Amino acid sequence: MSTISFTDRVVIVTGGGRGLGAAYSRELARRGAVVVVADNGCDLDGNGHDPAPAQDVVKAIVADGGRAVASTEDLSTEKGGQLAVDLAEGEYGRLDAIVANAGNVFNASIEDWPTDRFESLLRHHLVAAFNVVRPGFAVMKRARYGRVVLVSSSAGVFGQHGMLGYSAAKTGMLGLMNILSLEGAEFGIVANAIMPMARTRMADAVTGVGAEDPDGSAFLDTLRQDQVAPVVAYLASEACTANQTVFSAFMGRVAALQIGITRGWTAPDGSFSAEDVAAHLPEILDTTGLLVPRTLYDEMGYVTTPDQ
């Protein structure tokens, strides 16, 4: 088994100052990467600014003999994303991988979700990823090499009560992945996503687990960050040849998400009614022989050439 190394590679980790982002930063640095720890140190609501988390991770990496630099701009702004990419390229002359992990959290039932909180979740997760990936993609395209890891969530793909804004933003990361993987392939750029679960301050806030809930706390302790960071290291590495793939990682298991469509029912003459939909629902929902398209055109091909 060959060793996965990041020697001479430069990686941006957004939200790299705390939680899983810090774990990703340390794992990549341990394997030789120069890590740009991009984190403005905002609170869980997405407010405020504290350079200490990013700087502390950088200090820890350097103390262990690694190389890292902090970028403490607000990535939810176009300027902040550009500056993180400029720092990597200006300081080290390259950018090889991006781990788009930054975000915030809010939990409420649908009718209690304020518009500003919903928009905040989209900005700090999805827009922040876009703000770094767009300029970063240009650098990778020139180099004809790149790895993009977008941090999604089972809360978005499968749903979770109270997590409307978080779920919408995290599912949007898969849309980013799809387009990056298609447009980057010819330039040696691959894009994948991960749905991680681990104990972090965000997980504690969402679950409401505290010292008064020892059983809940004990369970969260089984969701270890070191059971996720190696998957991100693989996805960000040259060894990763997977593209447009979503990995699930927690409790020692690594699995791949499959988003497919059933073979469905086709009206013989192309015309049908709502009653026909109801009558043929068993065929429409039958998952036997599930199709897994990689592009919109793949799905169209299944319909126009059903025997493939």
Quote the radius of gyration of the chain (alpha carbons, Å).
Answer: 21
Distance, in Å, from the CA atom of 280 to the CA atom of 292, rounded to the nearest integer, reads: 22
166 is catalytic: yes
Max Cα distance, the chain (Å) = 70
Bridge partner list, 291: 261
Spell out the alpha helix ranges (H) of the chain: 19-30, 52-63, 78-92, 115-121, 128-143, 154-157, 164-184, 201-207, 214-221, 229-235, 274-279, 281-285, 296-304
From 92, 166, 297, 302, the catalytic residue: 166
Is beta strand 146-151 parallel, antiparallel or unpaired with respect to 189-196? parallel
Bridge partner list, 287: none
Q: Which residues are catalytic?
A: 166
